[in-house]
């Protein structure tokens, strides 16, 4: 049996998560749906659709076969904040994560960054430069987001496969460094 690993792609609605996943995935664009059952509806704002017993949440989903026995799955988080309840299942056991940010509304990235920091999921921040506009530097983004010095900030264009690949590699590099530290000092964790 192969080993399955996953990388989670987070970020605000419309920031380019779907594009990134589809750009690097070897399978056609797929969306995985999860149902919210009546139990979760209590905390949700579904004003106006009373009587509906369930709704669905779609997650972008992709696959990269690294080797016949090693498969990497990519999951885009649901865009809306009200689907936070799904994030634990998404993040549990993730090899790494990417927070995709849009400089025009950086504040939409704060929640994702807090989430991954609090759960010790290695992550990189990727700034999607729409139409090639690099209107800020990675250092400005780092300061604005109050990032740890070890968290990489990558300027990218997620429509380009090579650029999206660099984003994934940046996140994996954080995971690699953390794993190397664990090996060097196993008792500290």
Partner 1 sequence: METGRHLRPYAITGGRTRHSRHTFALISLIVARSEHRTEDGHLEPEAQQILELCRARAVAIAEIAAQLDLPVSVVKVLCGDLLNDSLILVQAPPGPEDQPDLELIERVIRGLRSRL
The correct pick among 45, 50, 67, 150 for binding partner 1 (CB under 8 A) is: 67
Element (H, E) at 30: strand 30-36
CA dihedral of residues 102, 162, 171, 176 (deg, nearest 10): -170
Rounded to whole angstroms, what are the CA distances from 115 to 10, 11, 123, 137, 168? 10, 11, 11, 24, 18
Q: Which residues, including other chains, have CB under 8 Å from residue 112's CB and lie 6 or more apart?
A: 10, 11, 77, 97, 99
The correct pick among 43, 44, 46, 70 for binding partner 1 (CB under 8 A) is: 70
Binding status of residue 162 toward partner 1 by CB under 8 A:
yes
Binding status of residue 32 toward partner 1 by CB under 8 A:
yes
Distance CA 171, CA 98 (A): 6
The stretch near partner 1 (CB under 8 A) out of 4-12, 105-113, 123-131, 151-159 is 4-12
Binding status of residue 90 toward partner 1 by CB under 8 A:
yes
Binding status of residue 143 toward partner 1 by CB under 8 A:
no
Binding status of residue 41 toward partner 1 by CB under 8 A:
no
The correct pick among 13, 44, 56, 133 for binding partner 1 (CB under 8 A) is: 56
Distance CA 131, CA 154 (A): 16
Note the residues at the interface with partner 1 (CB under 8 A).
1-6, 24, 27, 30-35, 37, 52-56, 59, 61, 63-67, 70-73, 75, 89-90, 92-93, 95, 161-162, 165, 168-169, 172-173, 175-176, 179-180, 182-183, 189
């Amino acid at each position: 049996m192969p080993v399955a690993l996953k990388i989670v792609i987070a970020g605000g609605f419309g920031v380019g998560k779907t594009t990134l996943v589809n750009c690097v995935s070897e399978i056609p664009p797929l969306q995985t749906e999860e149902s919210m059952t009546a139990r979760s509806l209590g905390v949700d704002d579904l004003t106006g659709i009373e009587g509906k017993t369930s709704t669905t949440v779609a997650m972008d989903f992709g696959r990269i076969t690294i080797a016949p026995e090693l498969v990497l799955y990519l999951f885009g988080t649901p865009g809306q904040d009200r689907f936070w309840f799904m994030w634990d299942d998404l993040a549990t056991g993730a090899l790494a994560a990417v927070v995709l940010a849009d400089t025009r509304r950086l504040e939409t990235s704060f929640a994702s960054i807090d989430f991954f920091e609090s759960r010790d999921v290695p992550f990189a921040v990727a700034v999607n430069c729409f139409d090639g506009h690099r209107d800020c530097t990675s250092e400005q983004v780092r300061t604005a987001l109050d990032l740890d010095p070890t968290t990489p900030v990558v300027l990218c264009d997620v429509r380009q496969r090579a650029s999206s690949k660099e984003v994934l590699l940046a996140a994996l590099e954080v995971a690699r460094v953390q794993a190397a530290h664990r090996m060097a000092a196993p008792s500290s964790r």
